[in-house]
Amino acid sequence: MAVDREFLTEKLWIGVYDALTARLVGEGARACEFGSIGGLWVSSYCVSATMRACPDASIVSSAEMVAIGRRIDLAARGLPVVLDCDSGYGDDIVLRHVVEEVCRTSGIAGICVEDKVFPKRNSFYSAQEQRLEEISVFADKIRAADAARRATRPDLAVIARTEALVAGQGVPAALERMRAFTEAGADALMVQGTGPLEDLFEVARRWKSESSVPLIGAPTLYPDQSPRAFWKEGFDVYIYANQLMRAVGPVMDRLVREAADTERGPSSLGQELWSLRDVDRLVGVGHGLADRAVPAETLASSSGPEV
């Protein structure tokens, strides 16, 4: 079975980091509340922060990422899940085994590997820390990933990500890498940028003038640019890579601060809190558990959000 390119064509992907966030987005997409959402992005940045409270610096292992990706895939209500595999956790031999594990133990739709030297450093960290693999070395990794999925589950998408712009190597270098990685077997490409937006758009325009291979962007540092603006310039996928995780931070911080005030209760947060019923709906209470739940009239009698 060939790679399904539907989720790689003019779509939004939302960055999730656990089963509950995957279920939230998956339920909304299935109910057509979020009609343009075509996939879930499991970033090492978010998983590092939420699972280990550590930097995004190849500290989370491949086994940990595959395990969380598997849980997310099971909770995602059919939305394709793409797993951020950093720089491949080592050389081409290591990446081959990671791909085989993904293929044999999950329904994850795609993996993304970036062309940084292992251990990698997140794109938003110091520019002096951004070191890229030689083109030939990273192309070998993509070939290994391609061979592994063809031997186990050919419908797994292999996405190659270049950090040439992040490393300050410029547009021509980014395009050179993209051509080489496509030739090595990548089904789609991702390009990240931390400098001038025009560099990112120039890469996209020039790429689209010569190739139909899908192009993915995660414009975290360009929040004023809409998905349609990116699609117009030549990108096929726009990722809200970490906004969901960042959105919950202020509410959690406020709740913890207000909890220290022993004269107040959590109802002061009002509608910012989910009700228990909201959580129960997402996790499937009612599928054989409805008769064991607190009666609806009890929940309804609460004057504020259930806590």
Q: Which residues are catalytic?
A: 56
Q: Are 93 and 82 in contact (CB under 8 A)?
A: no
Nearest Cα to 59, choosing from 71, 45, 73?
45
Residue keyed to tokens 């929040």:
223
Helices (H), the chain: 19-30, 44-47, 62-75, 92-105, 135-152, 170-184, 197-208, 227-233, 243-259, 276-283, 296-300
Residue keyed to tokens 């395990």:
67
Alpha carbon distances (Å) from 246 to 45, 134, 286: 11, 34, 31
The tokens describing 177, both together, are 């890498």
Q: What are phi and psi of 279, to 5 degrees?
A: -65, -45
* Residue 15 host element (H or E): strand 11-16
**Burial, 288: exposed, middle or buried (Cβ in 10 Å; 0-12, 13-18, 19+)?**
exposed
Report helix, strand or coil for 131: coil
Distance, C-alpha 65 to centroid of its chain: 11
Contacts of 82 (CB under 8 A, 6+ apart): 13, 39, 40, 41, 42, 108, 109, 110, 111, 112, 157, 159
Report helix, strand or coil for 91: coil
